[in-house]
Structure 1
Amino acid sequence: MTVYKAKKAAGKIGLYALVLIVVLPILFPLYFVFISSLKNMSQVYIMPPQLFGFTPIWDHYKYIFETQHYDTYMINSAIVAFASTAISLILGVPASYSIARFHMRKTSTSILVARLLPSISFLLPYYFLFSKLKMIDTYSVLILSHIVLSLPLIVWIMSSFIADIPKELDEAAIVDGCTRQRCFWNVILPVSLPGLVTCATLSFLGSWNNFQFALILSGEKTRTLPVSLQYFVSGADIRWGRMLAATIVVIVPAIILTMALQKYIIKGMTAGAVKG
């Protein structure tokens, strides 16, 4: 029994060590960015960097919120991300149901091809089109451009997810008197909750972190958080403390959202991976 307990303890230690080896390279950069945002300018440039034992300050955070209007940038990012995600789900989930249930393979292939195209290929046509329509620096143009990025992703994920739901559920609902529309709303959507949460999270994060489209299509009124990071870089120097504080402001909401919904995201991403 003692030998068994020793082997079990050694196995746990080995597992924890393996987890630490995998997690440390991921968490250390986040820790380094956070502590650097709490240092004054002279401490930021100390080499080797001081990881512990310094007096934290919050001056950089006060600066970006009091003088750089970061509360406005957060509101802009939230409006664009929530609106583009909601509209993409409203359009994409019914389309996914049709593709999955009626075997629309050509449509599915076209959507996959659209998903694989580099997003920057849409940017130049968008700029010329919306500048002619005088829509640059509006929420609508940012929301529309982000929908074009997130909609193929949602259709791609949800069509595969719905395809794994047994058709017998649809047939039983139709036998009971449900129309196709009511079957979709009352039967398929509740079962598809993990997939919906996964798609919503990925769409929201993609919009929240988008830099290219926001850089070209936004302006003073609709500037989002990722775009604001570039203003801490000048020809003379880089204001590292302020930039790192702004970086924390950008990534913390994404981390909180992912951690809060990780149970549903894991279910959605692994649905259909194991079939008996």
Structure 2
Amino acid sequence: MAVSKQKAGKILKQCLFAGLIFIIVIPVLFPLYFVLISSFKNMAQVYIMPPKLFGFKPILDNYIYIFKTQHYGTYMLNSTIVAVASTALSLLMGVPAAYAIARYKMGKVSIAILTARLLPNISILLPYYFVFSKLRMIDTYGALIISHMILSLPLIVWIMVGFFNDMPVELEEAAIVDGCTRQKCFVDVLLPISAPGLVTCSTLSFLGSWNNFQFALILSGEKTRTLPVSLQYFVSGADIRWGRMLAATIVVIVPTIILTMILQKYIIQGMTAGAVKG
């Protein structure tokens, strides 16, 4: 009898937990579901009230339009080039900088980097525009990559400083005794150990660049326009092409969702590393 009561209590707890998860997840996932199904509707179906959430005939007209007429393949390529290049260059500069800050205890530099990360994007956008205008770099990949690096570098340094602080110095000393130079020790010993942190930094930097709107709006042009900027062109003074804009929105967010799902395990490891010490 006691066993059955214990089993019933366990089932009740599981049901309550599942209900709590349902209550939390539905408000988060429903807007995404609504955007997804609306992207497969024509204009008349989009404006039906109350909206049809099921039982409608999906069409691909909106997706065909944005790729065939609005050149969304080019915008995707631009976003990919800028995001990958800015992420790679930020890692190349930020990871060694984080190692130097951690090993040589440059606390003031670390605080300055955090302060730079906290600055509003709009506060540094105008100086960038003037500089890149003088250099004739507006509407170039270089301007977008450099500006996105300025945003991702502080984040990468801040995360990786924590990783290198948690690594015992004895590990490096043992490698140096075995004949490694400090540079070889950094590349062959420390970087493989800090793989979760590198994956976390890469993912956050890529997503930040991929979704950046303000910098791309001002610094890009016809040749280098990225996906977030292109969404505004579905809004006019006469109306809003909701079906097409929502299809474009799906094109923007699906790659980020896929990337996050693939790297979810490593991102969690990277974000929680150092939180618990044995």
Superposition TM-score tier, normalisation by shorter sequence? over 0.9
Q: Give the aligned partner of residue 24 of structure 1.
A: 26
Q: Give the aligned partner of residue 245 of structure 1.
A: 247
CA-to-aligned-CA distance 1:9-34 (integer Å, 9 cap, x gap): 11111111111111111111100000
1:128 aligns with 2:136: no
Compute the displacement of 1:48 (Å): 1.5
**Structure 2: 5+ residue runs without aligned partners?**
none
What SS does structure 2 have at the residue aligned with 1:226? helix
1:219 aligns with 2:221: yes
User: Pick from 202, 226, 229: which aligns with 2:231?
Assistant: 229
2:103 and 2:132 map into 1 onto residues whose CA distance is 36
2:154 and 2:243 map into 1 onto residues whose CA distance is 38
- CA RMSD, aligned part only? 0.8
Q: Give the aligned partner of residue 78 of structure 1.
A: 80
User: Pick from 160, 176, 183: which aligns with 1:158?
Assistant: 160
Compute the displacement of 1:153 (Å): 0.5
Compute the displacement of 1:49 (Å): 1.3
Q: Give the aligned partner of residue 112 of structure 2.
A: 110
- Structure 1 residue ranges (4+ consecutive) displaced by more than 4 angstroms after TM superposition: none
1:98 aligns with 2:111: no
1:108 and 1:64 map into 2 onto residues whose CA distance is 44
User: Pick from 181, 184, 187: which aligns with 2:189?
Assistant: 187
Q: Give the aligned partner of residue 119 of structure 1.
A: 121
Deviates more, 1:71-80 or 1:113-122: 113-122
Compute the displacement of 1:77 (Å): 0.1
Q: Give the aligned partner of residue 53 of structure 1.
A: 55
Compute the displacement of 1:66 (Å): 0.4
2:83 and 2:143 map into 1 onto residues whose CA distance is 12
Count of matched residue positions in the alignment of Structure 1 and Structure 2: 276
Q: Give 1:124's aligned amino acid.
A: L
Q: Give the aligned partner of residue 39 of structure 1.
A: 41
Compute the displacement of 1:246 (Å): 0.2
Q: Give the aligned partner of residue 67 of structure 2.
A: 65
1:162 and 1:35 map into 2 onto residues whose CA distance is 45
TM-score, scaled relative to structure 2: 0.98
Q: Give 1:56's aligned amino acid.
A: P
**Identity percentage over the alignment?**
75
